[in-house]
Amino acid sequence: MSKGTIKKVAGPLVIAEGMRDANMFDVVRVSEQRLIGEIIEIHGDQASIQVYEETSGLGPGEPVESTGVPMSVELGPGLISNIYDGIQRPLEAIMAKIGNSLARGVEVPSLDREKKWHFVPVLKAGDSVSAGDIIGTVQETDVVTQKIMVPFGIVGELKSIAEGDYTVTEAVAVVKTADGDDREVTLMQKWPVRRGRPYKQKLSPDRPLVTGQRVIDTLFPIAKGGVAAVPGPFGSGKTVVQHQLAKWAEADIVVYIGCGERGNEMTDVLNEFPELKDPKTGRSLMERTVLIANTSDMPVAAREASIYTGITIAEYFRDMGFSVALMADSTSRWAEALREMSGRLEEMPGEEGYPAYLGSRLAQFYERAGRVVTLGSDGREGSLSVIGAVSPPGGDISEPVSQATLRIVKVFWSLDAQLAYQRHFPAINWLTSYSLYVDTMAKWFNTSVHEDWMALRQRIMGLLQDESELDEIVKLVGMDALSAPDRLKLEAARSIREDFLHQDAFHEVDTFTSLEKQYKMMQLVLAFYDSAVEGLRSGVSVDSLVKMAVRERIGRFKYIPGEQIGAEYEEIIKALSNEIAELAKQKEEF
């Protein structure tokens, strides 16, 4: 353990000397107040320390002590439902201890040391085990059963294991290793946050993380274990999108990292999230959520820690075989923290003052996403999908953080202030968004939902693109100049937008759409278009096709509950062909 003294304090950066024996990324305690910091640079015996607490009042000569261990998180029962700050201090426990504002240097363990958890073994003495093997379970909340895994680095034979009530630090099992050592396994393990947790194999992103949000699943799907970015101009519905994903995405566990700017932004999250109901269980969404929140009294440097803390916790649940969704809001704030620290370290600045390593830092973070075969002999699969929000100043994504992010992520949901203004929600712009997973997931959609899923999707996208081109023409020469087939195209596109893409997050039925229903909806919209094109050929006028009564019913299909969609679909198709036949007949009678 290395002890030094403060040489200089510059905001969240403390330079200490006498730190020759310390290591990069070691956690240090700074000054008599024992503030928590992390070594981010070492030159000779001088260490640059990023301090995660307010440094005002600190001065040269005060002691600095390295703990000799890298910044780590505690993993085990007690994580779920918890709200942590960036360095995994449980906010509620702290408030209970010292009141509303965070006193500096307080030490509260991340996982409750007194609470007992009921451990149920799934293996028995004599079984051989290695890292990642599940030895038993703990029912953590009504919704989440934690799998207790053999920690990394342990291989051997279970010498003892017993059902019972344990705190997180009591041994639930003992493993006899090959060298004859006894290693205790506790409910809690630790992991250094800057190192990705190991797995056996990364799998290809060939299946979607179904979200029940039509514009996402159909047009811009994210893969299980995929990475997506969403920019959020103010009022464009970013919060609603995130809440919808947290509620409905096929994820067992949600990890939400809030790197808010202002204190109250974060308080919103702290108030809103626990209010959300989990539609699958009817209980609070918090029963499968871990929240990481930077409170306003923490310096910006803590945002950096919160990103790593969050993703490490998420990986831990992935390792149990869960599907985990992590949301980071917003990565731009984290990048700003990197910029500030880089400036103080007097590094050579890159674009707009961001450090040259901005891109590689972001990449390292997103790379920790993935669908993997975990450690452990049962060959289980887990996934960690990451959705990062970016908040470009003025909504202009040509700035460095957005650009660096776009080079990494495979999905971009382009939230559009203009669409939000027109009350088209979710305001995801279908012309500027993209998903690079579409091709790798095509086979899954075609075999798991319907063989012509991709073909329908392609036609929908095509009509939307045609619409944007036709819109340009209409702007120049007016609607009257359009041919009848082109007018029908515009009508079909309008139907796609209004009847399909538009989705009301607050409507009981519309809030979630199964893939089966999304498929039927695509079919209906296209069935109208195809029948109308036929009608036009047999001489029916555009005006009467546009005004067909059945269109109203197609528009209301999204509100039809699951068990009725089959019957309603058949009826609409019948009504559609009757109405077209009727129009054609009238035409002949003239």
104-132: b (≥16 Cβ within 10 Å) or e: beeebbbbbeeeebebebebeeeeebebb
Between 236 and 306, name the residue whose CB sits nearer to ligand ADP.
Answer: 236
Which of 56, 234, 552, 563 is the binder for ligand ADP (CB under 6 A)? 234
Q: Which two tokens stand for residue 242?
A: 């995130």
CA distance 355 to 537: 62
Between 237 and 382, name the residue whose CB sits nearer to ligand ADP.
Answer: 237
Residue 590 binds ligand ADP, judged by CB under 6 A? no
Q: Helix (H, G, I), strand (E, B), or coil: what is residue 263?
A: helix
Residues of span 410-439 touching ligand ADP by CB under 6 A:
425-426
Residue 235 binds ligand ADP, judged by CB under 6 A? yes
Q: Which two tokens stand for residue 129?
A: 């085990």
Nearest-approach distance from CB 504 to ligand ADP, in angstroms: 5
Nearest-approach distance from CB 338 to ligand ADP, in angstroms: 24
Nearest-approach distance from CB 391 to ligand ADP, in angstroms: 10
Between 240 and 436, name the residue whose CB sits nearer to ligand ADP.
Answer: 240
Nearest-approach distance from CB 462 to ligand ADP, in angstroms: 25
Nearest-approach distance from CB 417 to ligand ADP, in angstroms: 9
Residue 267 binds ligand ADP, judged by CB under 6 A? no
CA distance 321 to 224: 13
**Residue carrying structure tokens 């995130």:** 242
Distances (CA, A) of 47 to 4, 11, 36: 9, 15, 14
Nearest-approach distance from CB 276 to ligand ADP, in angstroms: 13
β-pair partners for 295: none
Q: Helix (H, G, I), strand (E, B), or coil: what is residue 21?
A: coil
Helix (H), strand (E) at residue 389: strand 381-390
Residue 333 binds ligand ADP, judged by CB under 6 A? no
* Binding piece for ligand ADP, criterion CB under 6 A, among 102-110, 202-210, 499-507, 524-532: 499-507
Are the C-beta atoms of 205 and 224 separated by less than 8 Å? Answer: yes
Residue 505 binds ligand ADP, judged by CB under 6 A? yes
Between 506 and 590, name the residue whose CB sits nearer to ligand ADP.
Answer: 506
Q: Which two tokens stand for residue 307?
A: 């990103």
Residue 504 binds ligand ADP, judged by CB under 6 A? yes
Residues in binding contact with ligand ADP, number by CB under 6 A: 14
Between 365 and 425, name the residue whose CB sits nearer to ligand ADP.
Answer: 425
CA distance 237 to 361: 28
Between 412 and 528, name the residue whose CB sits nearer to ligand ADP.
Answer: 412
Between 90 and 426, name the residue whose CB sits nearer to ligand ADP.
Answer: 426
Which of 239, 364, 446, 514 is the binder for ligand ADP (CB under 6 A)? 239
Give residues with Cβ within 8 angstroms of 62, minimum separation 6.
5, 6, 30, 31, 32
**Residue carrying structure tokens 């990364």:** 202
Nearest-approach distance from CB 387 to ligand ADP, in angstroms: 14
Which of 232, 310, 392, 535 is the binder for ligand ADP (CB under 6 A)? 232
Q: Helix (H, G, I), strand (E, B), or coil: what is residue 505?
A: coil
* Binding piece for ligand ADP, criterion CB under 6 A, among 109-117, 249-257, 468-476, 504-512: 504-512
* Binding piece for ligand ADP, criterion CB under 6 A, among 39-47, 232-240, 429-437, 480-488: 232-240
Question: How far is C-alpha 105 from the geometric centre of its chain's CA atoms?
Answer: 31
* Binding piece for ligand ADP, criterion CB under 6 A, among 91-99, 203-211, 233-241, 282-290: 233-241
Which of 104, 238, 303, 361 is the binder for ligand ADP (CB under 6 A)? 238
Between 224 and 238, name the residue whose CB sits nearer to ligand ADP.
Answer: 238
* Binding piece for ligand ADP, criterion CB under 6 A, among 249-257, 295-303, 472-480, 500-508: 500-508
Amino acid in the structure at residue 350: G
Between 19 and 210, name the residue whose CB sits nearer to ligand ADP.
Answer: 210
**Residue carrying structure tokens 């901005």:** 358
Neighbours of 504 (CB within 10 A): 13
Phi, psi of 13 (to 5 degrees): -100, 125
Residue 393 binds ligand ADP, judged by CB under 6 A? no
Are the C-beta atoms of 464 and 431 separated by less than 8 Å? Answer: yes
Torsion-angle region of 237 (φ positive above 0: left; ψ -120 to 50: alpha; else: beta) = left
Are the C-beta atoms of 278 and 287 separated by less than 8 Å? Answer: yes
* Binding piece for ligand ADP, criterion CB under 6 A, among 3-11, 304-312, 498-506, 530-538: 498-506
Nearest-approach distance from CB 415 to ligand ADP, in angstroms: 7
Phi, psi of 98 (to 5 degrees): -130, 10
> CA Rg, the chain, in Å?
28
Question: How many helices (H) and strands (E) in the chain?
Answer: 16, 26
Which of 208, 212, 226, 237 is the binder for ligand ADP (CB under 6 A)? 237
- Residues of the shown chain interacting with ligand ADP in the complex, contacts defined by CB under 6 A: 232, 234-240, 425-426, 503-506
